Amino acid sequence: MYSDKYSSVTDAIAKVTRGSRVMVGSFGMAGYPGALIEALADSGIGDLTIISNDLGAPGVGLGRLLSNNQIRGLIGTYYNWNPEVATAYNEGRISVKLVPQGTFAEAIRAAGVGIPAFFTPTAAGTQLAEGKETRRFDDRPCVLEEAIHADVALIKAYKADELGNLVYYKTARNFNPVMAMAADLVIAEVDEIVPSGSLDPECVITPHIYVDVLTMKGN
Amino acid sequence: MYSDKYSSVTDAIAKVTRGSRVMVGSFGMAGYPGALIEALADSGIGDLTIISNDLGAPGVGLGRLLSNNQIRGLIGTYYNWNPEVATAYNEGRISVKLVPQGTFAEAIRAAGVGIPAFFTPTAAGTQLAEGKETRRFDDRPCVLEEAIHADVALIKAYKADELGNLVYYKTARNFNPVMAMAADLVIAEVDEIVPSGSLDPECVITPHIYVDVLTMKGN
Amino acid sequence: MQTISEQEAKERIARTIARHFDQEAEAGRLFINLGVGIPTMVANYVTSPRIYVQAENGMLGVGCAAPEDRQDHDLINAGRACVTETPGCSYLDSAASFGMIRGGHVDATVIGAFEVDQDANIANWIIPNGKQLGVGGAMDLVSGAREVVIAMQHLSKTGKSKLVRKCSLPITGIGEADMVVTEYAVFVFEHNQLILRETAPEITLEELRSITEADFIVP
Amino acid sequence: MQTISEQEAKERIARTIARHFDQEAEAGRLFINLGVGIPTMVANYVTSPRIYVQAENGMLGVGCAAPEDRQDHDLINAGRACVTETPGCSYLDSAASFGMIRGGHVDATVIGAFEVDQDANIANWIIPNGKQLGVGGAMDLVSGAREVVIAMQHLSKTGKSKLVRKCSLPITGIGEADMVVTEYAVFVFEHNQLILRETAPEITLEELRSITEADFIVP
């Protein structure tokens, strides 16, 4: 199926430049834009800030970017699945900003919907709130968190229509829809492209306004 | 189709008490829980604060509540379709808090997702930001807006399954899904109740966790 | 100075804006939001297939007005007019819809105005005469859309310039106007200056200055 | 004091919590979120059909673990285990899923902990030894869920009480614990006090005090 947004994986990744802030959808290996990540690792583009829930496993998927020394900084929630992250951080090779997972998701959505900052009760009084403004609402301490925006988002969806409307598959949805709203350039890896009008308008999760490039594995 | 959440319209409205803050879904007459509103007007329950985009038309729908003197206060965005609102306000019979429509939607969602307050560029420097904290983000003035919560939400959905999962119909969706998250008691008027498992899990808009009571017109 | 009928004036304004959008859409897809009145008429004149209409009440891909025999009162635009679907359209709740606007994803909004001043301030939400009580999505749209196009007749019903030195009515947004299209001229705001871009054939520059209170630059 | 095998201890903790939830679910539906480890085992022992499991990676209505021949790696829980669907389940993006949690809609979360202190502070996200770098959803869950149930063995691997006077590890949340279930006892926090609710048959109150650092009240 033809789409004017369609691009090869290689051409799509060529739009990522050295020093970019790159969001990547996934939770572990679910909803993971595998072909795009492989191409990004193959490209050797460096000095990246990767914004993702986790960093896969050592040398696998997003983990490859770390093994390749392509990463300058990480913003995310959970790196225990990839112990190389703690090692690189301890050795001063990368910066790491840990964010509670719900705050991370909400801050990415906030960037997408034009909310520069919000208060949340999550993390109040903990180490992760240090240096952040705290204010009471309904007598509950809340932390001011700022939106998280990226230059590029690499996301994984199940189907796209020709226009670029997206639907997802089960728990592969995770961070992908919010990341689709929060980056200047959004590249979606999909399994299939279907004709416009064949996705139910009630069930479109990411409207095509958010999607810049469509790509598919093996193309 | 049986649901343990099912209730008659009359029994459902009996849960609304004098002085309640009541959210009502709709944009004009689209996505409007008509049977619930008629029953609320018939009940004569008073001293209500109605949180809704607009107030329908004079003596029609939500407008009936005003004609009936059931309203103490309004929180909403657009009352030009019902000039009786301005009259009642000018005569000091009701209080009215105007909120920009996008801020209104976001503040209701915020209540639903546990965000007590957020900054938004909308309305900065205008009359509707008077008395509110303003702070610059990326050199843009933004207004601090607080979440809008209600005691009861009266919403309109298209179909429910037996559990109370909801889907909507076209632009009748509007404020209904966010209101479903933002009230202590959520009463949904639906056109049809279908078996559990017959709604596509990818397309459920309001998961049943948010819905307390299901009702249908004419029952 | 030749006079133009009100109908002719409105159509000319709508055509001018449509032509502007057609040109912009040559570079790629264009997402626009159209207010009530003249702005809605713009949809009748755009010819590019790459222009998509967003309605803030919760729809992307709004089609033409619904024929009388195929009206669905749950398929409306923000002016409560019955509309139609286009292939690839989708529905949104109000928070998602205004998130799309506030997040800067909508390329342009066309709105009417009571006054626009030479500092790009817009007054279009209220005339403080006690008869109106509504803001709707006006503030969200002017602060959220990337380009704000004002569609208004040059003079008020009482013959006063609507392009003023300083707004006397409550403003909708500070410095948000990007383009002003009247039946006599097209102006743009650039580097905090109001610049004349086009003049209608039946008016001289001198005549335009005489009916325009605001100072403007002729390049 | 009779010792209990680790496996027996874990099963007992899970059974005790499952019994607690079955009782709570007699009053109506109960929505629970289960952490990794002992908390996940709770699902094996609950019997009420009114208990629904939420997974913060984006699913409501999580079913049992997927049999080995029917695993879908895009259908996982937050511990990355392959799970199944239940009728009426639904999928959520991460912002919506954590909104459900932060908004107080999830009735209970069951989590493990390194330490819980007598002021209901929980430490369960990091041991500052440089080997871990992750918070995941822990902070969101303890601050968002209405009831926070701690499932942990009474003593650490080195034989120290995990119920302490004051947490020595970085805390996950301030005063968020509501119930602590170990293989030897059940405690609840009420009015800022730690209260003993149940004791296992093989332990005397004196023995319990001797292995518990925190002060607790015996009603």
Hey, where are the domains in chain D? 6-210
Structure tokens at B138: 């990326």
Nearest CA in chain D to A157: D74
Q: Are residues A79 and A167 in the same domain?
A: yes
To the nearest whole Å, the CA of B86 is away from the closest chain A CA by 31
The number of CA neighbours under 13 Å toward the Cβ of D122 is 28
Q: How far is A45 from chain B (nearest CA, A)?
A: 28
Centre a 10 Å sphere on the Cβ of residue A144 and count the other Cβ atoms it contains.
Answer: 18
Identify the CATH number of the domain in which residue B89 sits: 3.40.1080.10
Q: Tell which B residues from 138 to 167 touch A, by Cβ distance under 8 Å.
A: 138, 140, 142, 146, 167
Q: Is D11 helix (H, G, I), strand (E, B) or coil?
A: helix
D176-179 long-range contacts, CB within 8 A, separation 24+? D176/D120, D176/D121, D176/D122, D176/D142, D176/D143, D176/D148, D177/D113, D177/D116, D177/D120, D177/D121, D177/D122, D177/D142, D177/D148, D177/D150, D178/D120, D178/D147, D178/D148, D178/D149, D179/D20, D179/D147, D179/D148, D179/D149, D179/D150
Least CB–CB distance from A100: residue in D55, D97, D140: D140
Q: Which residue of B has its CA nearest to D106?
A: B209
Whether residue A122 lies inside any domain: the answer is yes
Examine residue A75 and state whether it is found in any structural domain, yes or no: yes
Binary contact (A89, D133; C-beta < 8 A): yes
Q: Which residues of C109-127 are buried (b: 16+ CB within 10 A; e: fewer)?
A: bbbbbbbbbbbbbbbbbbe
Span of B157-166, C125-134, D145-154 with lowest mean pLDDT: C125-134
Query: Which of C74, C92, C171 is nearest residue B31 as measured by Cβ atoms?
Result: C74
Answer whether B touches A (≥3 Cβ pairs < 8 Å): yes
Distance CA A168, CA A31 (A): 8
Give pLDDT tens digits for A15-58.
Answer: 999 999 999 999 999 999 999 999 999 999 999 999 999 999 99
Cite the active site residues of C. Answer: 56
Q: Same domain, yes or no, for B94 and B15?
A: yes
Chain C contact for B129, CB < 8 A? no
Residues A94 and A71 sit within 8 Å (Cβ to Cβ): yes
pLDDT by residue (tens digit) across C69-127? 999 999 999 999 999 999 999 999 999 999 999 999 999 999 999 999 999 999 999 99
C neighbour chains, 3+ CB pairs within 8 Å: A, B
Indicate if A30 and A118 belong to the same structural domain: no
Contacts for D203 with CB less than 8 Å, ≥ 6 apart: D1, D2, D184, D185
Give the number of C-alpha atoms closer than 13 A to the C-alpha of residue C202, restricted to the C-beta side: 10
Q: Give the tens place of pLDDT for each residue, D51-86.
A: 999 999 999 999 999 999 999 999 999 999 999 999
C137 in A contact zone (CB under 8 Å): no
Q: Which of B80, B123, B128 sits opposite C132 (nearest CB)?
A: B80
D138: left (phi over 0), alpha (psi -120 to 50) or beta: alpha
Same domain, A46 and A140: no
Q: Which pLDDT tens digit goes with each residue over B27-56? A: 999 999 999 999 999 999 999 999 999 999
From chain C residues 38-77, the ones with a CB under 8 A of any chain A CB are 52, 54, 60-61
Percent of chain D at pLDDT above 90? Answer: 95
Residues on chain B touching A149 (C-beta within 8 angstroms): none
Chain A contact for C175, CB < 8 A?
A: no
Q: Chain D: residue nearest A78 by CA?
A: D134
3-state secondary structure A86-143: HHHHHCCCCEEEECCHHHHHHHHHHHHCCCCEEEECCCCCCHHHCCCCEEEECCEEEE
Contacts of D35 (CB under 8 A, 6+ apart): D78, D79, D109, D110, D111, D112, D138, D141, D151
C89: nearest CA partner in chain A: A201
Q: How far apart are CA B143 and CA B127, in angstroms?
A: 12
pLDDT at B219: 60
User: What radius of gyration, in Å, describes the C-alpha atoms of chain A?
Assistant: 18
Share of chain B above pLDDT 70, in %: 99
Nearest chain B residue to D28 by CA: give it.
B4
What is the nearest CA distance from C100 to chain A, expressed in angstroms?
A: 6
Residue A140 CB coordination number (10 Å): 13
Answer whether A114's CB lies under 8 Å from A89's CB: no
The reply to whether residue D105 touches residue B111, judged by beta carbons under 8 angstroms, is no
Residue B181 forms part of a structural domain: yes
Instruction: Say yes or no for a CB contact (<8 Å) between B101 and C136.
Output: yes
- D32: its two tokens: 């629970």
Determine the residue type at D171.
I
Query: Which of A120, A124, A169 has its CB closest to that of D74?
Result: A169
Q: Does C127 touch chain B (CB under 8 A)?
A: no
Rounded Cα distance between C144 and B158, Å, is 31
For a pLDDT cut of 90, what percent of chain B falls above it?
Answer: 98
Question: With 80 as the cut, is the pLDDT of residue A188 above it?
Answer: yes
What pLDDT band is residue D2 in, cutting at 50, 70 and 90?
A: confident
* Lateral strand order in the sheet of A192-194: A166-167, A159-161, A192-194
* B89 and B177 housed in the same domain: yes
Cβ contacts of A208 on chain C, cutoff 8 Å: 60, 88
Q: What phi and psi values does residue C185 have, to the nearest 5 degrees?
A: -160, 160
Residue A3 lies in a domain: no
Q: What is the CATH number assigned to the segment(s) D6-210?
A: 3.40.1080.10
Mapping DSSP to helix (H, G, I), strand (E, B) and coil, where does residue C6 land?
helix
From the list D8, D24, D26, D56, the catalytic residue is D56
Return the pLDDT at A219.
60
Which residue type occupies D2? Q
Residues of chain C with C-beta less than 8 angstroms from the C-beta of A207: 60, 90, 92, 100
**Do B38 and B89 lie in a common domain?**
yes
pLDDT tens-digit map of A83-128: 999 999 999 999 999 999 999 999 999 999 999 999 999 999 999 9
**Three-class SS state of C27:** helix
Q: Are residues B164 and B131 in the same domain?
A: no
Q: Once rounded to an integer, what is the mean pLDDT over residues C37-43?
A: 93
Of D60, D88, D100, the CB nearest to B196: D88
Predicted local confidence at residue D71, as pLDDT:
96
Structure-token pair, residue B198: 């017959």
Residues of D in contact with A172 (CB under 8 A): 74
The answer to whether B208 contacts D85, with C-beta atoms less than 8 Å apart, is no
Q: Which member of D75, D135, D172 has the closest CB to residue A171? A: D75
If we measure between CA atoms, which residue out of B19, B18, B22, B16 comes closest to residue B148? B22
Whether A115 sits inside 8 A of C102 (CB atoms) is yes
pLDDT interval class at A1 (50, 70, 90): low
Describe chain B by its helix, strand, coil percentages, rounded to 5. 25, 30, 45
Q: Inter-chain contact A122–D74, Cβ cutoff 8 Å?
A: no
pLDDT band with cut points at 50, 70 and 90 for residue C146? very high
CB A149 within 8 A of CB A21: yes
Mean pLDDT of C162-183: 97
User: Is B70 contained in some domain?
Assistant: yes
pLDDT the model gives residue A218: 84
DSSP of D188-208: EEETTEEEEEEE-TT--HHHH
What's the pLDDT at C131? 87
Angle at Cα B137 formed by Cα B136 and Cα B139, nearest 5°? 70
- The answer to whether the CB atoms of B117 and A140 lie below 8 A apart is no
Q: How confident is the model at residue D126 (pLDDT cuts 50, 70, 90)?
A: very high
d(CA A192, CA A183): 23
Interface size B-D, in CB pairs within 8 Å, comes to 54
Domain boundary among the residues B118, B147, B176 is at B147
Q: At residue D1, does pLDDT exceed 80?
A: no
**What's the confidence (pLDDT) of residue B1?**
67
Q: Average pLDDT over chain A, rounded to whole?
A: 97
Q: Average pLDDT for residues B68-75, to the nearest whole number?
A: 98
pLDDT digits (tens, 9 = 90+) for D103-120: 999 999 999 999 999 999
pLDDT digits (tens, 9 = 90+) for D169-199: 999 999 999 999 999 999 999 998 999 999 9
Segments forming the whole domain that contains residue A115: 110-147
Overall number of domains in chain A:
2
Q: Which residue of A has its CA nearest to D98?
A: A102
The answer, for A130 touching chain D at a CB cutoff of 8 Å, is no
Q: Are residues A197 and A153 in the same domain?
A: yes
Tell me whether residue B61 is in a domain.
Answer: yes
